């Protein structure tokens, strides 16, 4: 695997490209980053937008070193993990829950459940925090890691922002709507093989729209 830091040079965009960048950024980011892998028929990379111009990209093959739109810095990436290892992590994810065969955004589902229970508005946020953290716990059970709950019981310490995305990819098509949650905290590796596979393949939905890439750093 290869981990790259990629910066798009906005000054090189044509007016038409800049319009697409401003209106459909998650989609065009994926399409333009794909140009760094000209031999790939299917998407075999994950990416995370760090700010308006920079991306982290995890790929099975190295990206092109030179490209008209991007400045690329790449290094080999092969984590050496063991059971019980403690890691700091960052994850931008699209957490969803399925109820009656219908997939829903975790935060919006929690808000709906809170209102159905007649909870006070100030309790809705706490329920949303818990739902988002519970989703991460379920991912850990499936993928070989255990996230640590913040010691002060303030679950917002485990994720620090959420965003609703809505854009139209092409004129006449239905809008694409999804949400992303930025998690940050610490975890314990419980199954190194499954966790490594999850790191390489991504966690959760909407991977083609900049979700699913977990960045890790060893604590001890």
35 & 107 share domain: no
- Span 80-102, mean pLDDT? 89
The token pair that represents 172 in the structure block: 């006449």
31-48 tens-digit pLDDT = 999 999 998 888 889 999
- Domain membership of residue 193 (yes or no) is yes
- Asked if residue 98 has pLDDT above 50, the reply is yes
- Domain membership of residue 81 (yes or no) is no
Average model confidence (pLDDT) across the chain = 87
43 & 136 share domain: no
- Span 128-144, mean pLDDT? 92
Highest mean pLDDT among 12-21, 96-105, 195-204: 195-204
Q: What is the CATH number of the domain that holds 24?
A: 3.30.70
90 & 191 share domain: yes
Domain end among 55, 76, 97: 76
Q: According to the model, what pLDDT value does residue 115 have? A: 78
44 & 91 share domain: no
Domain end among 34, 51, 76: 76
- Could you list the residue range(s) of the whole structural domain that residue 169 is in? 86-218
- Asked if residue 139 has pLDDT above 50, the reply is yes
pLDDT band per the 50, 70, 90 thresholds, residue 145:
very high
CA distances from 40 to 32, 36, 62, 91, 202 (A): 13, 9, 11, 25, 18
Neighbours of 117 (CB within 10 A): 10
- Asked if residue 87 has pLDDT above 90, the reply is yes
- Span 106-122, mean pLDDT? 79
125 & 214 share domain: yes
60 & 117 share domain: no
133 & 168 share domain: yes
Question: What is the value of pTM for the model shown?
Answer: 0.86
DSSP lists the bridge partners of residue 86 as 188
* Domain count for the chain: 2
Q: According to the model, what pLDDT value does residue 156 have? A: 44
CA-angle at 50, arms to 38 and 138, nearest 5°: 95
- CA dist 41 and 34 (Å) reads 10
Domain end among 52, 76, 100: 76
142 & 100 share domain: yes
59 & 124 share domain: no
Longest Cα–Cα distance in the chain: 57
211 & 105 share domain: yes
- Domain membership of residue 33 (yes or no) is yes
pLDDT band per the 50, 70, 90 thresholds, residue 49:
very high
């Amino acid at each position: 695997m290869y981990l790259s830091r990629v910066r798009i040079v906005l000054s090189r965009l044509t007016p038409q490209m800049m319009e697409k960048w401003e209106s459909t950024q998650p989609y065009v980011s994926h399409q333009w980053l794909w140009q760094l892998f000209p031999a790939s028929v299917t998407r075999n990379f994950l990416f995370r937008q760090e700010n308006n111009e920079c991306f982290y990209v995890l790929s099975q093959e190295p990206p092109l070193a030179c490209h008209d739109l991007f400045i690329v810095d790449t290094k080999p990436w092969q984590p050496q993990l063991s059971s019980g290892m403690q890691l700091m992590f960052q994850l931008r994810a699209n957490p969803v829950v399925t109820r009656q065969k219908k997939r829903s955004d975790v935060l919006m589902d929690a808000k709906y459940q809170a209102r159905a229970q007649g909870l006070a508005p100030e309790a809705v946020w706490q329920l949303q925090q818990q739902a988002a953290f519970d989703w991460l716990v379920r991912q850990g059970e499936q993928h070989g890691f255990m996230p640590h709950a913040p010691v002060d019981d303030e679950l917002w310490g485990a994720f620090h922002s959420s965003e609703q995305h809505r854009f139209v990819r092409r004129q006449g098509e239905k809008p694409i709507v999804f949400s992303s949650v930025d998690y940050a905290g610490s975890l314990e590796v419980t199954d190194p093989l499954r966790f490594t596979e999850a790191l390489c393949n991504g966690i959760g939905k909407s991977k083609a729209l900049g979700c699913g890439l977990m960045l890790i750093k060893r604590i001890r």
